[in-house]
Structure 1
Amino acid sequence: MGGNKDTVTIWHNPRCGNSRGALQLLRERGIEPVVVDYLANPPDRATLLEVATDSSVGLRGLVREKEAVFAGLGLADADDDTLLDAMLAHPILINRPVVITARGTRLCRPPEKVLELLD
């Protein structure tokens, strides 16, 4: 889901203000990223693990704790394997936006974090 070394990829949810903001910042800088609707096309296990590691936030940092399904599944004290399984089964649990570039991978909350990958 990352692409080649020159590709900028964003895991995007158009309903999310942070995701829209990061996408706008990229486009304002002349970058047209590969936009991945991760809800319709979720990452596989290996990709999700790679992004969790590369972004330095880990699986716990990539999970959306405010989603109702998080509480419904009782994930507050879950281990990484359980979190990973839940995120794969329920992609809405994946935090966004994630931006993947040759310079690194970031969870761009707030959206301005994308700028760390551009300069």
Structure 2
Amino acid sequence: MDVVIYHNPACGTSRNALALIRHAGVEPRVIEYLHQPPSRERLRELIRQSGLGVRQAIRQKEASYLSLGLDDPGLDDEALLDAMLREPILINRPFVQTPMGTRLCRPSEVVLDILPPVTRPFAKEDGEVVIDATGRRVR
């Protein structure tokens, strides 16, 4: 299965999504998007395929979000994309693409929606159980 994750190793959500992909028996292509940002068209495609709007795909918790005035509701998608490409830390993460779909995997267990069934127990790095001992997804 061809899986791509736009990953930030400093982000716990991204690390957990990557661990879940590997737990499913898949070795993804890992793109550290802070070092290899997607092109404008690729970013637009990831956002569209995820069923999101551009504003939903921007990381509002970053300090630069406010300092750049990106909270202005009058800014159009192109202005937001410009900011995300200038400062890739503003791209929310992790985006994951598989043959079963594309998702912004927040929370990380959203990745299970686009992977083959996983029935082995799994807990996030903070201990939160995602798949219990009986192989059921905990919601």
TM-score class, shorter-chain normalisation, is: over 0.9
Counterpart for residue 105 of structure 1: 102
Is 1:95 aligned to residue 88 of structure 2?
Answer: no
Q: Determine the C-alpha separation between the residues in 2 that align with 1:10 and 1:61.
A: 18
How far apart are residue 57 of structure 1 and its match? 1.3
TM-score norm. by structure 2 comes to 0.80
Amino acid at match of 2:34: L
Secondary structure at 2:61 match in 1:
coil
Aligned length: 114
**Larger relative CO (CA 8 A, sep 6+): 1 or 2?**
1
Q: 1:73 aligns with which of 46, 64, 68?
A: 68
CA distance in structure 1 between the aligned counterparts of 2:85 and 2:53, rounded to whole angstroms: 15
**What's the TM-score once normalised by structure 1's chain length?**
0.93
Letter in 1 for 2:114: L
Greater Cα radius of gyration, structure 1 or 2? 2
Q: Mark the runs of 5 or more structure 1 residues left unpaired by the alignment.
A: 1-5
> Secondary structure of 1:113's partner?
helix
SS at match of 1:105: strand
Q: Percent identity?
A: 55
Question: RMSD across aligned C-alpha pairs, in angstroms?
Answer: 0.8
Among 42, 50, 53, the alignment partner of 1:55 is 50
Question: Deviation above 4 Å: which 4+ runs of structure 1?
Answer: none
Q: Greater share of helix residues, 1 or 2? A: 1
CA separation in 1, counterparts of 2:51 and 2:31?
21
In the alignment, what sits opposite 1:35? Answer: 30
Q: Which residue of 2 aligns with 1:24?
A: 19
> Aligned partner of 1:101: which letter?
T
